[in-house]
Amino acid sequence: MTAATNPTGARTGSSKVSGMTAVTLKGLWANKSRFGLSSLAVIISVAFLTAMLILTTALAGTTTDDLAVANAGVDVVVLGEELGLGEGPPGAEAAVRSMVDVSTIDALLAVDGVDAAVGIRTTTAQLLGVDGAPVVTGSRTSLGETWIDNETLATFDLVAGTAPVDGIVVDRSLADEAGLVVGDTVQVLTPIGTEIVSVDGIATFGEADSAPDTATILFADGNDLLGTGGFERVVVDTDLDPTALQGAAGNGEVQSGTTYVTDQQSVIEARTSFQTIFFLAFALIALIAGTTIIYNTFVIAVAQRTRELALLRSIGASKAQVLKAVMGEAAVVGVVASVVGAVVGIGSAYGLVALFEALGLSILAGSLSVTVDSLVIGAGVGLVVTLVSAFVPARKAANTPPIAALREAAVDPSGVSLTRNSVAGLLLVGGSGLALFGSIDGTWETAVGGVLAAFIGVVVGGPMIAGWVSRGAGAPLALLGGAVGRLASTNAARNPRRSASTALALTLGVALIAFFTVVASSLSGTVAADTDAALSADQVVSPFAALGGPDDVTYLPPSVADGIELGDGVEAVVPLASTNVFVDGSMALAAGADVRQLDQVYDLAVVAGSLAEVSDASIAVQAGVVDGVVVGDEVTLVFPQAGQTSVRVAAIFETNLPGQVPAQYLFDDAALAVLAPDAGDAVVFVSTDGSDAAQSALAASVEATGGAIVQTADEYIESLGSSVDAFLNFVYALLGVAVIIAFVGIANTTVMAIGERTKEIGMLRSVGMTAVQVRRMIRNEALLLSLQGSVVGLAIGVGGVYATFSAIGDDQFTLDLPLASLATIGVAAAVSGVAAAAWPAWRASRRAPLEAIAG
């Protein structure tokens, strides 16, 4: 300021620059508290982005090159025919194939030029302690696999011990995580059964400690625990062209080793990139929230300094110089906050991993490594975002006419133009209409488009909505709070545009939180409610739940069901097996149960036919799964092991099968055991007379086998939602960052609004407003801001779920509005504003009235 008013400084080129630089620096220093809070917003969003980048770098850490290295000796791979896509994130579903027939090995070996061919069986497998407690394997899928006893074809290389004989070999990651050394004794569980075995060796996957995303337990060829059916794949050592082996492979698909590796790699890469996008999406949300705050800060800062800027212009500063001065401030804030943010991000990455683990979600198998890239990208994005957000206010500052120096600094009177409101109204009404149409019409693209349009409408029409909120909520506030309430509501309406951009961050956070809450509640609520209504067994035996990642299908050791004896008050024991089937190329679930006993423990609500009719060649189908199906129709299912099977529909049922086995097709257990020999028991329902003797008998028998827990029906129903709840908590944690930023934003706007009105507050104090009333007024103003974020956010979030999921129209998904949770979210969000304003309000109320008037 001083330097710029110096006339010589305005004339000479070099000192002119230093003059404006001085303006920039002094502007920053004079407003350090103002930039403090907005810098905090940048720091938080950059820290979060950096943490996410570090996390995603670690996710991609197991390089897919490992696959190529490990499979280097494999020339040809024979796979079963493709049945359809299995589970996985959208775009990253692995193909599910039928088994390769055992006879293929001999056929291949008979071909001249085939040096070796080894069949590999795979199955889900889990390590348990000898006591039956599970060994957690992080997010990696636990896989049992045949040890390839051929140096050329082997994918795993021993680093300790020997190849498996009667025991197992584990990969080095698993050994490290479970603290296993050669010679230890563990219990291993596959759908076939459990066995206590010794750890014969520890191996690496090529040069890596484990195969990508997999914890592998290797068994000797022919071990019963892997099953006795066909092979998952056959690896061949040969110099022949793959096509030359097609004859020997029968229906199987013959691929070169390179093609096989490439296919595997692309699935893993798709999965990793899905996870990366998932994580970065949350970083983006936080970044958007941070952007609104830095933008807001500069808009307010420029508005408050109109006279100062105009003064600079009137004494000869050019527009470019004013622009540079403001952008210079943004650059300093951006650089400092981004660098601090990136550094804080390193710690945040470790903190997040610890947090996820505390929530029961291990997202990383390996360890984090901080790369320079993550820091540079994180900080760079922070700087760019700060500069971009400051540009519009900076340009406005540059366009300040010199005459403004002479005018009283005016408050933005409306901030809302008719055009803007019309566009917003059009988007809101049009978007909502489109969403409604999509939900009725069943086109989810239309519904999602409508929801997005409505959200943009909220952004554009924010100031208009801010007006509604302050009028709508202001009336009761004035009624309840008298003059103080009235002042608060008119103050909130004073600058609708500012209110709107402050509330936007909270709106975004609340909308997403509400969205996920409704989705999660609908998912777990639907399942739990159905199970609750249908389940009549009083005891349930389940595998240890939520071990490792979401891909893990956990099975009960088959001996569990066999071990429970009737009598002693145990009245019925009904195991429920499950397996994947394919119908027209889409994956579905088939369950197997003793249909004659099932209704003693679970009421399926049969609407047509009879469960008694279900037999070797006939099944029960859930209503609505196959269009227009009636009792007596034939349906065709494809099993990975048994291949295509046509069965008659003997009954149609309505209730969903219990949580872990939401199967659409119900088989008699004996029939399913033939079609899918490795279909393990997912759950065992037990009816007892409720006596202590019955319960202790049950507990003793389950403990004897291990690998399972006994729950009462209520505990079981409660636990059904637990994996959904864990995921929800994970999402809450990620969205929480946006909410914290929104919180900082409200504090920031409050501080700036108070700063603007220092004199006014001093006057109010002099004419009789008590300190308590000042605090209440300021808190109420903040309440109106957060109320806008809360109400609009809830509306968008709930409306969004409603439109999208009605449009998708999944019968398995009944929309459930968790009113209590939504109310809690709404109230918490609204109260957050009051909390954010508490400190600025306290500070303002402490200011002596005289000082405020004079200041």
Residue numbers of the site for other proteins (CB under 8 A)? 411, 413, 482-484, 486-487, 490-491, 493-494, 759-760, 763-773, 848-850, 853
**Shortest approach of other proteins to residue 460 CB, angstroms?**
25
Looking at the Cβ atoms of 410 and 820, the one nearer to other proteins is 410
Looking at the Cβ atoms of 281 and 772, the one nearer to other proteins is 772
**Shortest approach of other proteins to residue 840 CB, angstroms?**
19
Element (H, E) at 520: helix 496-534
Looking at the Cβ atoms of 304 and 821, the one nearer to other proteins is 304
**Shortest approach of other proteins to residue 413 CB, angstroms?**
7
**Shortest approach of other proteins to residue 487 CB, angstroms?**
7
Looking at the Cβ atoms of 481 and 721, the one nearer to other proteins is 481
With beta carbons less than 8 A apart as the criterion, state whether 200 and 194 touch: no
**Shortest approach of other proteins to residue 770 CB, angstroms?**
4
**Shortest approach of other proteins to residue 5 CB, angstroms?**
24
Indicate the SS3 state at residue 739. helix
DSSP letter string, 759-804: HHHHHHHHTT--HHHHHHHHHHHHHHHHHHHHHHHHHHHHHHHHHH
Looking at the Cβ atoms of 133 and 850, the one nearer to other proteins is 850
Token reading at 104: 């293929």
Report d(CA 789, CA 502) in Å as an integer: 9
Report d(CA 269, CA 139) in Å as an integer: 16
Looking at the Cβ atoms of 335 and 853, the one nearer to other proteins is 853
Token reading at 400: 């300040």
Q: How far is CA 111 from the centre of its chain?
A: 50
**Shortest approach of other proteins to residue 849 CB, angstroms?**
6
* 3-state DSSP percent of the chain in helix, strand and coil, to 5: 55, 20, 25
Looking at the Cβ atoms of 42 and 484, the one nearer to other proteins is 484
Looking at the Cβ atoms of 399 and 766, the one nearer to other proteins is 766
Report d(CA 552, CA 823) in Å as an integer: 34
Report d(CA 685, CA 708) in Å as an integer: 13
**Shortest approach of other proteins to residue 772 CB, angstroms?**
7
682 φ/ψ angles, rounded to the nearest 5 degrees: -90, -30
What DSSP state is assigned to residue 625? T
**Shortest approach of other proteins to residue 500 CB, angstroms?**
17
**Shortest approach of other proteins to residue 733 CB, angstroms?**
40
Question: Which residues have CB under 8 Å from 719's CB, separation 6+?
Answer: 542, 545, 711
Report d(CA 364, CA 252) in Å as an integer: 35
Place of tokens 């006879």: 103
Which residue from 576, 616, 619 is spatially nearest to 600, judged by alpha carbons? 576
Report d(CA 111, CA 267) in Å as an integer: 31
Looking at the Cβ atoms of 413 and 567, the one nearer to other proteins is 413
**Shortest approach of other proteins to residue 806 CB, angstroms?**
43
Looking at the Cβ atoms of 487 and 724, the one nearer to other proteins is 487
Q: What is the dihedral of CA 41, 47, 52, 53, to 10 degrees?
A: 120
Which residue from 576, 578, 579, 585 is spatially nearest to 641, judged by alpha carbons? 579
Report d(CA 652, CA 591) in Å as an integer: 14
Looking at the Cβ atoms of 364 and 487, the one nearer to other proteins is 487
Token reading at 732: 């809450």
Place of tokens 């490439």: 262
